[in-house]
Every structure is written in C-alpha cells, then in structure tokens.
Structure 1
Amino acid sequence: MVKALNGGDAGDGGGGGGRRRRAPNDRLAALLAEAGCTGAELARSVNALGTLQGLALRYDRTAVAHWLSGTRPRPPVPTLIAAALTDRCGRLVTPQEAGLAEAGPADGAASGEGSPTGDAGAGAAAGAGAGADSEGLHRLAVQTLADTDPRTRPGLLRSPYRPGPVVAWRPARATPAPMPGTALAQLAARRHLAGHAEQLRALVHSFAGLYLTHGGVHTRAALAAWLAQDAGAFAARCRALPGGSPAHGPGPSGAQVPGGGAPPAGPAARAGRVAGPGLGAGSGGARGLGGGLPSAGAGARAGRAAGSGPGAGLARDGGLGGGGVPAAGAAGRAGRVAGPGLGVGSGWDGGLGGGVPPAGPAARAGTGGRGAGSGSASGAGAGAGAGDDAREVLCCYAQLAHLLADMTADAGHHGLAQEYHAISLGLARQAGDRRMYAITLRAMSTHAGRLGQPAHADRLARLAVDTATGDGDPAVRAYLLAQRAAARAHAGERSAALADLAAADELLARAPQEPGPFDSYGKADLDFARARTHLALGEYPAAADALEQSLRARPPGHHRPTALTHALLAETVLRLGHLTRACEHWRAFLTALPAVHSRAAREALGRLLRDLTPYRHVREVVPTLAMARAFAERL
C-alpha cells in the first residue's frame, strides 16, 4: 500500500505531528550550498527517493524553505533528505549533520562493540554483533572518512595491533522486512542495486590489479577516499528504504538476509531447471570480460541452479600480501555451484600478507536460483533475485574493505589494517558468505604471523580451515591449508605442517585451473606458501627451491610479488653461502623496486643493506650495494 504525504503542509509530510519549530537551520543551508542545489531540486530528489520507499511525496521549494527556517519533517523524511544530499555532495551526509535530527552517540569506528576480535578499536564493524546491512556499510564509511580526514588520520595510523579472541562463523540474524510497496519502486530499487554491484566489481578488479602492480602505500589512499564517498552514499540510500537495507530476500538456509532487490542480469533457463539470479558466468561457464568482470548471465549445471556468486575459483596468491585480482564470473561446476574466489597471500613476513576476497557470495544448491521460467524479476524469481544481488553488493564491499586492509598493512599501519579486516569479516557474515569469512580469517592469520604473533596466527588459520570444512571445492581447501601449514611450522609441528602441504598439493592437482585473475589458486602461490613453511622449519635448501619454482610461474607485471619473492630468495640463498646468487636476486629486486610503493619493499631494502654491507669490498657486491644505497636515499 502506497502512503501519501502532503508536501504542502509546512514541509512536514502532512499533519502537524512531529513538527518542531527551531532556529534557522544553517547546517542545511550550508549543505545546499555545498551541493550546488536549489530548494526545488532538493525537493524533487526527496520525492524520487520516497517513491523507492512506497511514499507518494509532493514536496516543493516551499517545503524546503520551511526546513531551512527550522521546521523538522517527520521520519523518514530526514533520512531521505540526508540521502539526497549524500548523492549530491558525493559524501556521507547524516540527518544530524543536516540539522534534521538530534545528535546521538557517534557511530565511530573506534567502538569495539560487536567486534570478532573483541578489541575496542580493532573491528567495530565485524560481524559478531552487527545489525542491518546499512550499519556495516555505515561503519565502513565512518572509518574511511576518518582515514581520509587530515585531523583524524594520524591517530588512526598510529593505532596498535592487538590480538584478541575471534568469533567463529555464524550466520547473520534474520531481519525480514518488506520490499517497497509498488512494482515500479521494486523495479527501480533492483536496477539500482544491480548497477551498483557491477560498479563495485569493476572497482575490485581495478584496485586489486593496482595493488599487485604497485603496492599499497599510495593505492590505499585512493581506495579509502572512494569508499568514504561511495559506501557512505550507499549506506544512506539503504537507510532510506524500509528496514534500513537495500531490499530483502531469502538468505542462506531459508533465513531472511537484509539486502537485495536487483533483478537477475540475464539469467538462462535450462531444460527442466532454472538459472538463478545474480551476475555470473554465461551459459557455457564463460568468464566475464576483461579477465575478471562478470558476464551478464547465470549458468546452471547438472540439475542445479547457479546462484548469484560471481568469483569462481581462487585468486592468484602471489603469496605477497593480498594482491590478486578477483574473479568476476561464477561458473557452475558439475553438480554444484561455483562460489567465490580466494585472495592472495600465504606469506608471513616482509609484507607478505592476506588476500583479496572473492568477487561475490557463494551460492549453494537450493539457496540461489529460485524462480520459474526465465528467472524474471517478478513473482518467486524476484524474491530470490533481491536477496542474491543484495548479498553480492555486501560481498563486494567486504572485498574492498579486505583489499584496503591488505594495502594498509602493506603501508605499515597494522592497527588500522586490523580494523579494516574486521569490517570485512562483518560484511561477509552479513552477506551470508561463509567462504569469504574463512578467506578473511586466513588473511588475518597471515597478518598476525607477519607481526610476530604465531600463536594468534595459528588460531586464526585453524579457524579458517574449520569455517570452510563443509566446502567441497578443492582449490578453497588448498588455499586455506597452505596457510595452516605455515602456522603449524611456526608452532614447531613439522609433521602436521608437511601433511597440510601434501594435502594442498593433492587438492590443487585436481582443482580446475582456469586462466584469469582470481579464477584459481595458482601453482606459483602454493610454491611460495611452501617456501614460507620450509623457512619456518629451518629447511633453507627446500625453501630456495620452492621460491625458484614460484618465480618461474609468476605472471609478468606483478611487480610487488615478483620483487618481494626475489628479495626473500636472495636472503635465503645468502644463508646457504651463495653470495653471487644472492646478488643476482637482489639486483632483480632492485629492478622491480621503482614501480613498487610498499613498506614491505622498503623493509626488504633495509635487509639488503644490512646483509650485504659486511661484503662491501667483494667485487660482485659493489654495484649491487651502490644501487641499493641510491634507492635508499630516494625513498
């Protein structure tokens, strides 16, 4: 049922209830000036947002004049006004900032409530106690706004890393709510959500590629700035809808998960079965365009429906701090649905850290692909499309938060990186994506190991494997077992570590290997993980062999993982007494270094100077050391 509000009555949506006369609203006037927006334009934007909520609003410039004079409209109009200003200003605007609601306790990112890490300041938005989808996005927006504000950034960058208890996977609490009332409102909401998901996937692809190529020092600033605007704007729009989330649809195990509403992007109906909604691989399981963007069709296999989960397979590990480009096409496997890909990183130190999460939620048989016929946006198919596409949007935001965490760790800001990892963990839980939750735990384990917290890293690695226990994808298991092997090696459990590596080898051998970023967990990545495990066990010849194999399989253009692998190999062969080989790999590291802006690379350069200085009079060392000193002066 569509509700109508009369915009001509003092701007309060009809009726006198809820109106409060106050002093002139200078805050709203300043925001209108910032947005370059007239009163009539604001009124039209609010009316349009009201349509998405099933409200027939008829505001005009006289209503805006009343708001500027101090009158406050009734809810939910202040939220709609804030959402309209958010769109026009390109940043998050709240009703409080617009002077349309009383200021409450700050939704600051420093609160530890609901954090899986149990840390104040280390994961406020993580999934343990997170509420609606828009709340997770709002926390991400608040955190990135603080990260991009010169007044608050210094404190965030200095925040310490604090290990703490971690919450095991559990699905988000059900928060059912109706879709907007009219068919037109539903269609508009779904199309908006589908378009936003497409944009997010492209951004994940771009930023992950930049991180692989150039490291995290500069790219993290760009990603934080983008999220500060986009996540805030989208969260504000979410709060403008019923229930405070984009739309609502069936979630995993029949639960209602907030979010959704986008129609399927070209679902394919098979003989006797229906391809479920969502953006994924085409009918032939083809990957998306551009080596990682999803194609606009969902593919179904052997009597099962393909759900909404783009991101099949695993990312290229690089073993080096989470660089990997997420896959963007979900391919249905024989008798199952392709879930998300995995991220990068199996290393422990030298900035070799966590991974890029998958490019979409995993769709399980029986949870996605509900509908009839061609999976149209109406009827039963519409409900499934709503929930699946909303979970995809949440998963993409979790990806970007995860990638930002990896970049932030690579820049050396470890407490802030922990916060972003926790936010990603919470969004993964809200999306109902158990796989991504495991991927994030794996990245957190890598980060903890790098910082000299082996016991915490071991707990996280074991929990990551346990979280994905029910997953039959061999590549997923190989990816998680590789990190648990490194954690067990640091704990002195040699037999268990080698057993995990052997199991990962076996799983990877039978895992489908598809070209393209994030489509598979590559041999180069597993070899790097193997090297880290052997180094932790003190087995330097085996580690050197594994690093050589990893370099041979490393794709060109991945400057950061290539540089750091050369650096680690140089250190390893120097331990074995091979000075000439060490210099060869140090020179290869220095060749790649100018393109990489990474705290891990700077630390590797410092170790080069430390290790080669005692040999400064040896002929083959002289040019290498001179080049390293020249770079050190420039950094």
Structure 2
Amino acid sequence: MASNSRTPNTGLAALLTQSKWSRSQFAQIINRMGAEAGLELHYDQSAVSHWVAGTVPKEQVRPLIVEAFARKLRRPVTHAEAGLPVSAQHRGAGSGPSGTGDPTDSTAAQGSSRTNTLEELVDMGRADMDPSRRSLIAAGLFSAAAVVPLFPDLAHAATPPNAAPGKRTVRIGAAQVQAVRTMTDRIADILDELGGGHARPMAAAFLVNTVMPWLKAEAAEPVRKDMLAAASDLVYLTGWMAMYERAHGLGQRYYLRALELAGAADDHVTYCRTLRGMSLQASNLGYGKRALEFADSAAEASPKAEPRLQAFLAGQQAHAAAMVGDKRQALARLRQTEAALNRADDRRESVGSYDRTGYLFHVSHVLYEFKDLPGSISALQQSLKAQRKNERQGRVHFLAVLAQRQLEFGHLEAACESWSQFLVDYEHVSSARGDEHFETMQRRLKPYEKTRAVRGLRPRISEIAVLKA
C-alpha cells in the first residue's frame, strides 16, 4: 500500500528524456560519479525506476544525480528541478534568513550553504524568465521579520561553491568577470529607459544561463571572489527590479541571496548597498522601524565607505528616521548626506548610484513626513530638474508622486500638468509601479471630472489606457 501512495517524480523523468539516457545508462553514470566521490555504488535500471516512481534516493546520491544532468545538458540543474529534496549536507548553516545551523560548522558545510544559495537563485531566475510562472513566484509575501545574515558570518563562508565532486572542465578569468559587470550595467541602463518589465527577464536569463555556470567553474582565488562580487551586484539589481515591480516577497529573496554572495566575495559595498535596498523596500511597504534598522545596519557595516556611498546610505537613514517621527535624526542625516555628496567625485555608477536627484527626493520625503507639503513639493520639483533625460523610469515615479502631493495641496491644475508629463514617459515604460501610479491618477481625478483641467487630460488618459491594456 505504501508504494502505491508515492508520487511519481515527473521532474526526474523529464530530465532523463531530455538527456536521452536509458535508465540503465543513468544508473551506470551515477555509479561512476560515485566512484569520483569516493562512494561505492551498485545501482541498476530497477533503482532508477524506483526513483522515477517516487522513491527518494539516498542523501549522498542526490547531488550526484543533479550534477550528472548538469554535465549532460550543459546548464544548471537544481534539486527542485530533479524533484529531489535538498540534502541536509547541502543546506548548511545560515543558508537563508532562517538558518539555524551550528556556527561552528566546518568549512565544507559553509561551502554547501553557498551551493544552496546558487540552486535557489537558479530556481528563482528560471521562473522569473518564464511569463507563465512569474506570477507564481511573485506571489510570495514580504517578511518584516526576516533575519539578515551579518557580514562577518558570511565572509567566513567564502569557500568554492562547487555543487558536487569531480573535475571542472570550465575555467574562468578576468574577462568573464568583466562580462558580468558590463551586462549588469547594460541591464541597469535598460531599466532606467524602458522599465523593469523589460529589464528583469533579461537579468534573470543572464543570471541562470551564464553567471551560474561561471560561479561553479574553476578559477584563481582572486577571480573567484571577483565573480562572486559581480554576481552579487546583478542579483541585487534583479531584486531591486522585483521590488519595483511590486513582487516584494521575490525581491526580498533576491536581496538575501545578494547579501550571501557579497559576504562570500568579501564585498562590503554590495552588502551595504543591498541592505539599503532592503530598507527602501521596507519603507515602501510602510515598515518605518524596520526600514530604519536596515538603513542603520547598512551604515554601520560600511565604516570606510567612499563619500558617494556614505550619502547613498545616509539619505535612506534620513527617510527612515522621518517615518518613525525622529525629526532631529532625520535632519541630521540629511546634512550628513549633503556633506558627503559635496565630497564625492563626478563618477556615476549604473547600479546603486546616488546624486543630487536622489538627495532632493529624500529631502522631499522627510519634509512630507513632517507635514511640510509646500517644501516637499518644491524639493521634488528641484529633483526632477536635476534628473538625466534617459532616467525615464525614475521620472515616471517622481512625476506621479509630485502630482499626488500637488493635488493634496489643492493645486489641481499643477497636478494635472505633472500628470500630463507623467503620461509622456509612462507610455514608453513597462513598470508595475507605473501601472499603479496610472490607476491612482484615475481614481484621484474622478471627483474632478467636470473641471477644465481634467477634461483636457482625459483624451490622453484614454489613449494610454488602450495602449497599456
């Protein structure tokens, strides 16, 4: 009776079909790989048939099964895709926000933790690439109680993230690291100009198909760390896009994986930048206290940050402090932000950049939290003037916020003018946050339908509604 209640492993069956292996051939391959790993295995066709029927393979054999398919298909394959539970030895300590492993675990266990990080990224990225599955992974909830791994703990786990024993046939160098950084910059540019709806699937595809195999390849130690740092930047950017697209649970998962990669790379900058992103996410969702905790943690973890990063972090501290009503701290952080910006050079990074536009936006947020609506509107207007022309996605958000605050202040005609400018950029951007602003605009203008300003805007609203349908 027990055998009849098993659920067939359709994932394993599908991988066997893709690999064009018979069950007998697959058993022989697993036996050979077991010998590579120092295991004496004697599987045959019947064992594989039992696995396909739903019997779970032994714990030490599961990584061999996953690695066998990855080698044959020349792409990342995860335990989840193969329908297998992750081995306890693979879970390791601190492998996620709720890791409960012993902090004295061996280096091998810490390396296994990294493997679990990479496998989860492959599963997330593969689903993010597929429009039919994207809504499912985006449905996860944001956790205000997520435990953030500390940088020193993560840095101690910086061992090679190999998924299974055996020689690697691919070796990477500085050129591959630069390719990841260049692609990340290009994706950030596409995000600015066309929106996360276009850029995020590209980031996920590049992450799964190119970056993950390189993270498992052979490399000199400095190159390996550089690749982990470059991958962390890409994962941070992907998480930021997911957050911006209102997939907050997914964005948080990307952020946590970016922290782990940054720790393994000994990359303080991306670790702090990611924590700051998590603070922004918490503030967007109204968790002021949590936002301040994340922002303060980011600042504390970067004692030697260069001036632009200091400004980047202090600006978010100011916003979060205002959310919890701490006016003194908020204003002090704004002064700190402006002073740091004045010391910064003119270099602009594609990922995690911060300039006067961002500073003025933070000023606007702080003033708004303390009921200075005219000051908040003025700061937003100055921020928009300082924006670069190709930052279309940011301008969509800024203009929408400006219009809402102008309407709140009783300036209907000014709000309609801002919404008119919003529509010009929104037409070209694929953005869930832009969609949300569009819906808010229609709802907020409904009571004023008979006014001349709204009547003048109505044809353009109807036109955009048809284009976006």
Q: How would you bin the TM-score normalised by the shorter chain?
A: 0.7 to 0.9
Distance 1:631-1:503 versus aligned 2 partners, 3 A rule = same
Query: How far does the alpha carbon of each residue in 1:65-86 deviate from its partner, in whole angstroms, 9 at most, with x for none?
Result: 9667666203437989976864
Give distance in 2, aligned partners of 1:91 and 1:539.
55
Percent of aligned pairs sharing the same letter: 27
Give distance in 2, aligned partners of 1:223 and 1:115.
23
Distance 1:88-1:167 versus aligned 2 partners, 3 A rule = closer
Q: Which residue in the other structure is 1:569 paired with?
A: 402
Q: Which residue in the other structure is 2:256 paired with?
A: 422
Q: Which residue type is aligned with residue 138 of structure 1? A: E
Q: Which residue type is aligned with residue 169 of structure 1? A: F
Distance 1:96-1:423 versus aligned 2 partners, 3 A rule = closer
Q: Which residue in the other structure is 1:432 paired with?
A: 266
SS at match of 1:159: coil
Whether contact under 8 Å (1:544, 1:569) holds in the other structure is: yes
Q: Within the alignment, does 1:479 sit opposite 2:312 as a pair?
A: yes
Whether contact under 8 Å (1:461, 1:487) holds in the other structure is: yes
Q: Which residue in the other structure is 2:419 paired with?
A: 586
Offset of residue 610 of structure 1: 2.0
Distance 1:491-1:133 versus aligned 2 partners, 3 A rule = same
Distance 1:555-1:130 versus aligned 2 partners, 3 A rule = farther
Which residues in structure 2 correspond to 1:145-164 (within 5 Å)? Answer: 145-148=126-129, 153-164=134-145
Q: Within the alignment, does 1:193 sit opposite 2:173 as a pair?
A: yes
Q: Which residue type is aligned with residue 91 of structure 1? A: R
Offset of residue 565 of structure 1: 1.0
Q: Which residue in the other structure is 1:354 paired with?
A: none
Whether contact under 8 Å (1:527, 1:546) holds in the other structure is: yes
Q: Within the alignment, does 1:169 sit opposite 2:151 as a pair?
A: yes
Give distance in 2, aligned partners of 1:509 and 1:490.
26
Task: Select the residue among 340, 360, 375 that pairs with 1:542.
Answer: 375
Distance 1:97-1:553 versus aligned 2 partners, 3 A rule = closer
Q: Which residue type is aligned with residue 400 of structure 1? A: L
Query: How far does the alpha carbon of each residue in 1:104-150 deviate from its partner, in whole angstroms, 9 at most, with x for none?
Result: 52379xx9973664399xxxxxxx97746444323311322344467
Q: Which residue type is aligned with residue 572 of structure 1? A: R
Query: How far does the alpha carbon of each residue in 1:130-184 deviate from its partner, in whole angstroms, 9 at most, with x for none?
Result: 746444323311322344467865442211111114343325225668x9xxxxx
Whether contact under 8 Å (2:365, 2:376) holds in the other structure is: yes
Q: Which residue type is aligned with residue 151 of structure 2? A: W
Whether contact under 8 Å (1:512, 1:520) holds in the other structure is: no
Q: Which residue in the other structure is 2:438 paired with?
A: 605
Q: Within the alignment, does 1:229 sit opposite 2:228 as a pair?
A: no
Offset of residue 625 of structure 1: 3.0
Q: Within the alignment, does 1:458 sit opposite 2:292 as a pair?
A: yes
SS at match of 1:620: helix
Q: Give the aligned CA root-mean-square deviation in angstroms.
A: 3.6
Task: Select the residue among 307, 321, 326 that pairs with 1:493.
Answer: 326
Which residues in structure 2 correspond to 1:303-382 (within 5 Å)? Answer: none
What's the TM-score, normalizing by structure 1?
A: 0.58
Whether contact under 8 Å (2:158, 2:265) holds in the other structure is: no
Offset of residue 195 of structure 1: 2.9
Q: Which residue in the other structure is 1:58 paired with?
A: none
Of residues 481-490 and 220-229 in structure 1, the stretch that sits farther from structure 2 once superposed is 220-229
Whether contact under 8 Å (1:474, 1:511) holds in the other structure is: yes
Give distance in 1, aligned partners of 2:214 and 2:228.
11
Distance 1:131-1:474 versus aligned 2 partners, 3 A rule = farther
Whether contact under 8 Å (1:117, 1:163) holds in the other structure is: no
Query: How far does the alpha carbon of each residue in 1:579-623 deviate from its partner, in whole angstroms, 9 at most, with x for none?
Result: 222111110000001111111111111221122222221212212
Distance 1:233-1:31 versus aligned 2 partners, 3 A rule = farther
Q: Which residue type is aligned with residue 85 of structure 2? A: P
More helix per residue: 1 or 2?
A: 2
SS at match of 2:452: coil
Offset of residue 632 of structure 1: 3.0
Distance 1:75-1:212 versus aligned 2 partners, 3 A rule = farther
Q: Within the alignment, does 1:72 sit opposite 2:54 as a pair?
A: no
Give distance in 1, aligned partners of 2:87 and 2:179.
27
Give distance in 2, aligned partners of 1:516 and 1:94.
33
Offset of residue 441 of structure 1: 0.7
Task: Select the residue among 449, 453, 458 that pairs with 1:620.
Answer: 453
Distance 1:68-1:591 versus aligned 2 partners, 3 A rule = same
Whether contact under 8 Å (2:92, 2:113) holds in the other structure is: no
Distance 1:232-1:33 versus aligned 2 partners, 3 A rule = farther
Offset of residue 486 of structure 1: 0.2
Q: Within the alignment, does 1:91 sit opposite 2:78 as a pair?
A: no
Whether contact under 8 Å (1:428, 1:436) holds in the other structure is: yes
Q: Within the alignment, does 1:533 sit opposite 2:366 as a pair?
A: yes
Query: How far does the alpha carbon of each residue in 1:180-227 deviate from its partner, in whole angstroms, 9 at most, with x for none?
Result: xxxxx99x96x6232321221122012111111122223222322332
Which residues in structure 2 correspond to 1:261-276 (within 5 Å)? Answer: 261=219
Distance 1:559-1:519 versus aligned 2 partners, 3 A rule = closer
Give distance in 1, aligned partners of 2:442 and 2:396.
16
Offset of residue 515 of structure 1: 5.2
